[in-house]
Structure 1
Amino acid sequence: MTLGSAGPWDQTYGAMNRRGIELALAELNARPEYRDAQISIEFRNDSGSGARAAQIAQEFVDNPEIIAVVGHVNSGAMVSAAKVYDGQLAAVATTASSPDLTGISPWAFRVISSDSANGIEIARWAARRGLTRTAILYENNPYGRGLADAFRTAFRGEVISIDPIAEGADQDFEPHIAYYKAERPT
């Protein structure tokens, strides 16, 4: 049995996902009931690109040895690929959280909550902490935009600023915090 799996394997987050899949596969193949029917995985690098993901999805669909797909890792890639898999191959998204995946296909499954649910829960957490003002800083990609939009809609306090940052930008947020404090002090 062969599974397909696609993600941005050359990126840190993708590499962690791939390692998790490899560990799960090794554990599964070590079970006695799989001794005579080992499962293998064909890994393909989609670089997190929707166009590349759709191309790989078609290659998986065209390969009669592939019985199902684990991935795609990124939301945009999974949304594009799900349209190709529809009616032909089951795909399980392990980390893609875009609300656009909800109901996209009866052949596409997500095992993590959607950004819309996550954004609402983060807003509830902020309310429980008594926070009434916030600035939203989000990564400018489908994941970041979806999460920011869901939070902004659910947050009952004042949003003083909503700003995108470049995808993959450094993780030093101090300049942003200093700017918000200077422009909109409490």
Structure 2
Amino acid sequence: MDSSKKNTTERTTARLACAALIGAMSLGTAGAAYADDVRIGAASPLTGPQAHYGTDFTNGVILAVEDFNATKPVIGGKPVHIVLDAQDDQADPRTATAVAQKLVDSGIKGMLGHFNSGTSIPASRIYAQAGIPQVSMATAPEYTQQGFKTTFRMMTSDIQQGAVDGRFVVSDLKLKRIAIIDDRTAYGQGLADQFEKAAKAAGGTIVDREFTNDKAVDFRAILTKIKASAPQAIFYGGADAQAAPLSKQMHSLGIKATLVGGEMVKTPTFLKIAGEAGEGTVASLAGLPLADMPGGGAYVAKYKKRFGMDVETYSPYSYDGAMALFTAMKNADSTEPSKYLPFLAKIKMAGVTTPDLQYDAHGDLKNGGITMYQVKNGEWTVLKSLGGK
């Protein structure tokens, strides 16, 4: 078996194992094994090109559920048992709203997800109308700017990340002529918009701005147009499934510009697909490097033992988001959403990713840092960390 087939088989096996576990956990509710079961929803893309994101996200939630249940929590004077109902929203907004309604109708007491901004935003209205707290991986500013009291984040927003990216490229990397491409998703376009504002404010010049979609694989027409403007950097707002072939096509067209992206580019999957063409790519990720996170070392070991694979990108954040929800229930001494929601809003706790997890009035993280990375010799290496300690 060649390496590409082996990697595909390993990813498929991991996703099937995750799906099997989720099915088993969901089935536990049907039997009502515990009179005090507390159903919690989760949603992410578990199939399709973003399934590696969803698997990583869901694994973090699973670990949090297992760790919390292992403490034998007593809430409201009786033992409680968290039962996870994890759903596949396929990174599709329409599917996400159907999933959200299904979860609400099933009686969930809290929601972890969705993973994407484009799914979290439309689904958030359904959870808000039901009064159900939602802790999402969404980074688009709009997610917490809708006026809902039920929306909270697991990661820093694109306002924070895009601003850091734009300043870093111009001020630190000294790349002033910049082209921008985004995939028109809520995440990709939002991040690109914030990047553009910050880059201009730092003295950069946007020589071209183009857009594609989150299913595209051929960027040669866009890149040929961009090449004529002689950019020093190309910022891509989107996911690794598009960024990797984009980097290869930049290389084949002789474009020497540095490719820059956000956290959905800074993944092991990008490295596997892009290969040598990805060398020199710069990307940002919310928070500190995994090795520098307060609970990073212990989390890596626990994750590896539990799932038989390495931490990819998102699971430490989904773990902390889930633990914030469960801690709020404990602090409120209630699993009823209306009673523990105020405690979630004023949460203050140490997590894997940060020693001080808190939310502001909008549900955004107060102390989120950003780390810049670059591909060197086929590995993501740290360039600079800003805040988060």
| TM class by smaller structure | 0.7 to 0.9
The one of 41, 49, 66 aligned to 1:4: 41
Contact 1:2 1:67 in 2 (8 A): yes
Contact 2:177 2:207 in 1 (8 A): yes
The aligned residue for residue 38 of structure 1 is 81
- 5+ residue gaps, structure 2, are 1-37, 215-240, 258-389
TM-score (norm 1): 0.86
Q: 1:174 to 1:159 in 2, by over 3 A?
A: farther
Q: How much has 1:161 moved relative to structure 2?
A: 2.6
Contact 2:72 2:80 in 1 (8 A): no
Counterpart code for 2:113? G
The aligned residue for residue 63 of structure 1 is 106
SS of 1:86's equivalent in the other structure is helix
1:97 aligns with 2:144: no
Counterpart code for 1:145? Q
The aligned residue for residue 309 of structure 2 is none
Matches of 1:103 and 1:164 in 2, distance apart?
Answer: 25
The share of aligned pairs that are identical, in percent, is: 28
TM-score (norm 2): 0.43
The aligned residue for residue 16 of structure 1 is 56
107-116 vs 170-179, greater mean Cα deviation: 170-179
- The RMSD of aligned alpha carbons is 2.2
The aligned residue for residue 249 of structure 2 is 175
The one of 187, 192, 209 aligned to 1:148: 192
156-165 vs 6-15, greater mean Cα deviation: 156-165
The aligned residue for residue 234 of structure 2 is none
Q: How much has 1:180 moved relative to structure 2?
A: 4.2
Aligned residues: 180
Q: 1:170 to 1:128 in 2, by over 3 A?
A: closer
- 5+ residue gaps, structure 1, are none
Matches of 1:174 and 1:181 in 2, distance apart?
Answer: 12
